[in-house]
Amino acid sequence: MNWDVPEFPLDKQMSENFALLILAGPNFDTEREPLAWIGRPVTRRAEDFEIQPGQPRLVQAWRSAMEAAASNAGRPLTEIGYLIHDAGKASDVAGKRLATLGQALGEPLPEFDILKQGFNNTALMGDTGAGTALTNVALAIAYAHHKGTPVLVAGTAEKDTAAAVVVTPPARAREIDPSKDWFRARGVENTYLPWWGLRRDVDWGRYMQGFSE
């Protein structure tokens, strides 16, 4: 669980966040389909790598972290279909973070478009503070669940450090039909309801998109 209000005492700001994840391992029978699977996170520090031609130490750290995170999730890095990160925007620091992520992904995924296939959460919401990591993991769960593709979550906030985790979709993903209504967009009171994996003993077809009980 995490929550943060980085702009306190101001309220009703985009950066306010709260995320609560209820986790279970693959051998625990919840009688529900999983929303997604979260691999073991990986952290690498640039100081642990040697400078190489065309390969800054931080880029090496990122590539190592990404490959290890993908391995922990049981997938090769080449299967990553989306990136969620906290590089931010409108600063030299944000630009360097984006460039480093792009270079680290460029070799294993030469056609990966970090702008079109990525979501820069803090560029939209602002500095989400202590809630950044878990909020991004929650977003990755949603994307993997509804798109059926592995998602890489990259934490760039700590200087000279690469933090990565890969979220993979369940065997039975609930892909979104954009032509149909989305339950959680029907009012504020619905937005904050818990999001559970669907029970195995019910007909999924009777549920509106985004609804679970």
What DSSP designation does 6 have?
T
Answer whether residue 87 is part of any domain.
yes
Query: Which parts of 73-161 fold into alpha helices (H)?
Result: 92-106, 121-125, 132-147
The per-residue DSSP string of 51-93 comes to -BTTB-HHHHHHHHHHHHHHHHTTS-GGG--EEEE---SSSHH
Per-residue pLDDT tens digits for 63-109: 999 999 999 999 999 999 999 999 998 889 889 999 999 999 998 99
CA distances from 9 to 6, 19, 38, 122 (A): 9, 20, 34, 20
Question: Across residues 133-142, what is the average pLDDT?
Answer: 92
Answer whether residue 21 is part of any domain.
no
Are the CB atoms for 194 and 71 separated by under 8 Å? no
Per-residue pLDDT tens digits for 24-68: 888 999 898 899 999 999 999 999 999 888 889 999 999 999 999
Q: What range defines the domain where residue 137 resides?
A: 36-175
Q: How far apart are CA 152 and CA 77, in angstroms?
A: 9
Q: Looking at residue 201, what is its pLDDT?
A: 84
Q: Looking at residue 118, what is its pLDDT?
A: 95
Q: Looking at residue 213, what is its pLDDT?
A: 67
- Res 207 pLDDT > 90: no
Answer whether residue 5 is part of any domain.
no
In the chain, the number of structural domains is 1
Answer whether residue 10 is part of any domain.
no
Per-residue pLDDT tens digits for 163-176: 999 999 998 777 77
The token pair that represents 15 in the structure block: 């950066």
Query: Global pTM?
Result: 0.89
Answer whether residue 189 is part of any domain.
no
Q: What is the dihedral of CA 172, 176, 182, 185, to 10 degrees?
A: 100
Answer whether residue 82 is part of any domain.
yes
For residue 65, the domain's CATH number is 3.40.47.10
Q: Looking at residue 206, what is its pLDDT?
A: 78
